[in-house]
Structures are given as C-alpha cells and as structure tokens.
Chains A and B, each alone.
Chain A
Amino acid sequence: MKPVPRIKLKVNGQEYQVEVPADITLLELLREYLSLTGTKEGCGKGECGACTVLMDGQAVNSCLVPAAKAEGSEVLTIEGLASPDGRLHPLQEAFISEGAVQCGFCTPGMIMSAKALLDQNPHPTREEIKVALSGNLCRCTGYAKIITAVEKAAAMIAGEGRG
C-alpha cells in the first residue's frame, strides 16, 4: 500500500500531520493513529452512526470518509467536547443525569450528532432532535431518554451561555 502524502488536519483544536496508507478511513486514522478511541465503529458502512464526528462543523460517518478526504479539515470528536479543565460539556452531563446511556456504544455518536444540531439550532423541538438523531441507532435505551437529554442540554447551554 502506497502511503498518501502526509495528511494535515486539525482534531479537537490540535494540528496533526500523519502519514497513513491510502486505504484507511478517517475512523481508523482517529482510533489507530491518533489513539482517539472514543469514536466507535458499529456497522462500518454508514448505517448506525456510532462513528459520527463533526467534520468542518457537519456530522459525518467517519467510517465513510477516506482519510485522504479529511486533508485540511477540522474534526471534532467526543474527546474534544469537555473543557481543558475536565469540565464536561452540557450534552455529556445531561446524558449522564438523564440516564441516556446504557451500554454506551452509541453514545459518542449520539452526542456528536446532537452537538451538530445544537450548534446550528440552539433551541430545537423534540421533533427536530429526532430528525437530527435519525442517523444514529441505539439498541438498548430506546431513544426517549436520549431525546430528553438533548433537550436538557439545550436548556443548560441557554442558561449558561456556553456551547
């Protein structure tokens, strides 16, 4: 496998230059080359949303992004949500307090899709939350608590004046 010329990208605010083979995905780049294992691989073919990250502000399935396509882009993963001092993001806090996590495998993807939504629409309706999370599958909690957690996070962010 021919390595592609060094890929330059920003992940969670930090600049990286990585030399990777031409055949890997952004998901593999994150997990295996940058050791950011918070992003999960579920189906590996764009159906489940477990690998959702934000690329230039938009939610994408990182399993469907060839690493080379991430060149020059800005990526946000679940590891980049908490403040540098360790304070959790309101979405993370709300998922915990609402019990919106069971096995936890879908959670990083859910939270990243919710983050993309709240960045564009800080006061979503339950219906809008459902649409924003419609590309993320959860096989244990059954969604109701997840939707409530996103509502709660939106209220927390509005109250705190932070995103």
Chain B
Amino acid sequence: MYNIKEYYEAATLEEATELLAANPNLTIIAGGTDVLIKMHHGQIEKAELLSIRKIKSLQGIRKLEDGTIIIGPLTTFTQVVNDPVIKDNIPVLAEAALSMGGPQIRNVATIGGNICNGATSADSASTLFALNARLKLQSKLGERVVPIQEFYLGPGKVDLKAGEILTEIIVAPGDYQGYGGHYIKFSMRKVMDIATLGVAVICKIKERNIFADVRIGLGVAGPTPLRCREAEAFAKGKTISRETIAEIGKLAVKSTKARTSWRASKEYREHLVEELTQRALKAAIVKAGGEEIA
C-alpha cells in the first residue's frame, strides 16, 4: 500500500509536458524503484504520480551517424547491460549498470530515474560524469541541454525545473571513442547495496605510453557525483608509470568532499579514493590498449 492520491499515465511526451504544466504537484515516476521507496519512507505523501513509462520516444539506445550516442532515459539497467551499442562503444557504462541493485531492480529501474533522483551514489552517474554526458530537458515551453556536471545541485537535488522531463542522455563521439574505461563499486555487499564509493575512470593513450586524457568520476566522494580535475590536469601528457598513477590517486583526493556517514568515515572514503582511483585507472589503461602496470 502506497500513499498514492492520483496515478496518471502519459502516452506521449506532449501529453506528459501538458499534464506537468497543468499540475505542478505531479511527481514523475518511471521505474518507480526510488519514488516508491521514498513514499514507503514517508518522504513523499499523498503522491500524485505521472507515469511516463509508456512514452516510446523516451525508450531505447541509438547511435547517430556522427557517432553520438543517445540513451533514452526510460532504458532500464538490464537494457543498458545488454545493449549492443553500449557494449561495443561504452562498455564501462554496462559495468556500472550491472553493479546496481539486483536483477529484479535492474529489470525495472531506469537510467533517467537514477540521474533525476539526484543521489551521489547513483551507479550510472560517475561514469556519465567521466563521459561528459549532456542531458536534454524538455518542458511545454521548450527544451535545453545541460552538462550532467551542472545538473547535480546537491544531495537529492537536480536542476530539473518545474514542468521539465529528461528526454535524452547524450554522449558525444569525442568523449568515448579511443577511450578505455573501468568502474569499481566499493560496497559492503556484492549486490543489493548502495556504494560506499563509486569510481569511474576512462583514459586515452597516445604514443603507446603517454596519457592523452584521463577522466575520473567519483560517486559518494561528495554531496554530488564529481570529477577530479586536478588529478586529470596532472595526468595529461605524462608518461604512464606506477609513480604517475600513484600521484594521480593522491591528487584525486583533493577534489573530494567526503563526509562521515554510517557506511564509512571521511578518512576511510579518502583512502578508498586514492587506492581505487589507481586500480580503476590501471584497468582502464589496459582496456585503452596500453600495457599492464603492476
């Protein structure tokens, strides 16, 4: 039993934006695995739900001719894991998606919902941060595109304005082509757990052993997912070595704003950032075609 006052179902995006414009109290529900839990915990009361799950244009993943990948926000985690476009082009996102929840949750939960929920622990978010994903948002008044880094405002808070719906998650070809990536979810249990820390690293290598680009996305290292800009700037152009990687791990901690929670202390999380950034980077190097660093 949930405290549902009304349940609307929109068949098209136009219908959904009309309904949202007419009733600002509507809570959008996609897979429902976050919204219904919030209702269960009493964080949302007397909900007026707008289900968008039947809107065809928000489903599926496609690759445009220029290589741009468009992920429909209603794509479930199971679909992300099994999607050929994702597997062939950004397998690190499939790795991250597979770490989320358990099979029943992955069958229902959507990647768009994961982002709009605004949690720093969102398993898809750190990877999408590293990929410089952009989000297309649409309302009755029009549409806009924002970088995912700007979309996250604070814990559970995203820049989704009244009447807006997330309609596309966009990854540009220059942000994934030639990159190798790796995601590490550190949690107390292997499945059905929320990350103590999530680390997504993607890198590109030139002249066999030089970092052309390194990008580090972290979840639960601050109030929102974040990037480690200082470590990334240091890495650019450096020769790949154990020392360089160790320095990148150290610098990564500087971008974090970890806090102590019942899951882990600030100090422990910072230790994890330094260590797991190095491990994820080492795996990413191999996937980008570089030589293995012990």
B21 within 8 A of partner (CB): no
Whether the pair A59, B103 counts as a contact (CB closer than 8 A) is yes
B206 within 8 A of partner (CB): no
Residue interface bits A113-141, CB-to-B below 8 A is 1, else 0: 10010000000000000011011110000
Whether the pair B78, A45 counts as a contact (CB closer than 8 A) is no
What total of chain A residues lie within 8 Å of the partner, measured CB to CB? 31
Whether the pair A135, B103 counts as a contact (CB closer than 8 A) is yes
A153 within 8 A of partner (CB): no
How far is B244's CA from A8's CA once the two chains are assembled, in angstroms? 61
B7 within 8 A of partner (CB): yes
Whether the pair A52, B49 counts as a contact (CB closer than 8 A) is no
A46 within 8 A of partner (CB): yes
How far is B36's CA from A28's CA once the two chains are assembled, in angstroms? 15
Whether the pair B104, A113 counts as a contact (CB closer than 8 A) is yes
How far is B191's CA from A87's CA once the two chains are assembled, in angstroms? 35
A15 within 8 A of partner (CB): no
Whether A134 touches B103, Cβ cut-off 8 Å, given contacts A22-B7, A58-B78, A68-B7, is yes
Residue interface bits B178-195, CB-to-A below 8 A is 1, else 0: 000000000000111000
Whether the pair A23, B1 counts as a contact (CB closer than 8 A) is yes
Chain B CB within 10 Å — which of A23, A24, A68, A132 has the most? A23
How far is B103's CA from A132's CA once the two chains are assembled, in angstroms? 6
Residues of chain A lying within 8 A (CB to CB) of residue B4: 22-23, 66
Residues of chain A lying within 8 A (CB to CB) of residue B53: 69
Residues of chain A lying within 8 A (CB to CB) of residue B9: 68, 71
CB within 8 Å of B: which residues of A?
2, 4, 22-25, 28, 44-47, 49, 52, 58-61, 64-66, 68-69, 71, 113, 116, 131-132, 134-137
B268 within 8 A of partner (CB): no
Residues of chain A lying within 8 A (CB to CB) of residue B12: none
Whether the pair A58, B40 counts as a contact (CB closer than 8 A) is no
Residues of chain B lying within 8 A (CB to CB) of residue A66: 2, 4, 7, 29, 32, 36, 49, 51
Residue interface bits B32-51, CB-to-A below 8 A is 1, else 0: 11001100100000000101
Q: How far is the CB of B243 from chain A (nearest CB, A)?
A: 37
Whether A69 touches B3, Cβ cut-off 8 Å, given contacts A46-B104, A135-B192, is no
Residues of chain A lying within 8 A (CB to CB) of residue B207: none
B102 within 8 A of partner (CB): yes
Whether the pair A60, B107 counts as a contact (CB closer than 8 A) is yes
Chain A CB within 10 Å — which of B37, B103, B192 has the most? B103
Residues of chain B lying within 8 A (CB to CB) of residue A45: 36-37, 40
Q: How far is the CB of A155 from chain B (nearest CB, A)?
A: 22
